[in-house]
Structure 1
Amino acid sequence: LDIPTYTERVTNDPTQGVQEVTRSFVDVGTVAGVITDEGEDWFQTGSSDAELVRLRDEVAGAASREERAGVVEELSRHVLEQAYFIPLEQNVQRIYVQSPQLSGITFNAVAIPSYHAATKEEA
Structure 2
Amino acid sequence: MTIRFDGKVAIVTGGGNGLGREHCLQLAKLGAKVVVNDLGGSVDGSGGSVSAAETVAKEIRDGGGEAIGNGADITKLDQVEAMVAEAKAKWGRVDILINNAGILRDKTFSKMT
TM-score over 0.5 (shorter chain) = no
Rg larger for = 1
| Higher relative contact order, chain-length normalized (CA < 8 Å, sep 6+) | 2
Higher share of residues assigned strand:
2
